[in-house]
Amino acid sequence: MNKKNKSKIIQRILNNTYPEVPIPLNYKNTFTLLVSVLLSAQCTDVNVNNVTKNIYPRYNHPKHFVKLGRKKIEKLIRKIGIFRIKAKSIYYLSKTLVDKYKSKVPNTYDELEQLPGVGHKTASVVMSQGFGYPAFPVDTHIHRLAQRWGLTNGKNVVQTEKDLKLLFPEKNWNKLHLQIIWYGREYCKARDCFGLTCKICKSCYPNRKKKFITKKA
């Protein structure tokens, strides 16, 4: 079975499983979406949501975090992994938005990726969920699933993103990347399915007998 046929099967299963797909991170506006995505690096969305539910009602604008300063931001997010590094990024990110963008989150990849702590994946999520532009954010989890499902041989998330964009219609990208995230969490877990038991894996590889080992991103 070629990649294009697999992609059609996968799209059908995902659409049947998640006709409506929730956004994993809770946020109040585009700025807090950006902060939440930044906080989610090496951290679960559940943990981020638990921490930010006590922050965003009071602090949800770049000027709020500039006024707080790094040390107070650290105290607010101390339950999140590498919180000192993230607090530094949030502070300087907020300061840049206030000084350079009149406190508005820019809506281009180039401008977003120049902000402190913002990489391509974070920018893609904001472009997709914050501004509605077609984007296909790929993290290590989507990279793992794309390999497991035979959609890419990419050794890194950059190549995997390119491969997925070629296989799926642009109009589906925003919803599809969320569908893949939820499916991976519920059915095709890293230490559970191993490419053998979930519906997508069995449909794409009905004769697979051995555990599939993912190449690290």
Question: Measured between alpha carbons, how far is residue 34 from residues 31, 60, 65, 97 in Å?
Answer: 5, 11, 13, 12
Is 175 labeled as catalytic in the residue annotation? no
207: Cα separation from own chain's centroid: 31
Contact 205, 145 (CB under 8 A): no
Q: What share of the chain is helix, strand, coil (3-state, %, to 5)?
A: 60, 0, 40
Which position among 3, 6, 86, 139 bears the catalytic label?
A: 139
Q: Any residues with CB less than 8 A from the CB of 45 and at least 6 apart, and which?
A: 24, 25
Contact 177, 14 (CB under 8 A): no
Contact 32, 65 (CB under 8 A): no
**Distance, CA of 72 to CA of 78 (rounded, Å):** 10
Contact 120, 113 (CB under 8 A): yes
Closest to 78 in 3D by CA, of 57, 51, 58: 51
Which position among 6, 86, 121, 163 bears the catalytic label?
A: 121
Closest to 143 in 3D by CA, of 171, 121, 174: 121
Catalytic residues, by residue number, are 121, 139
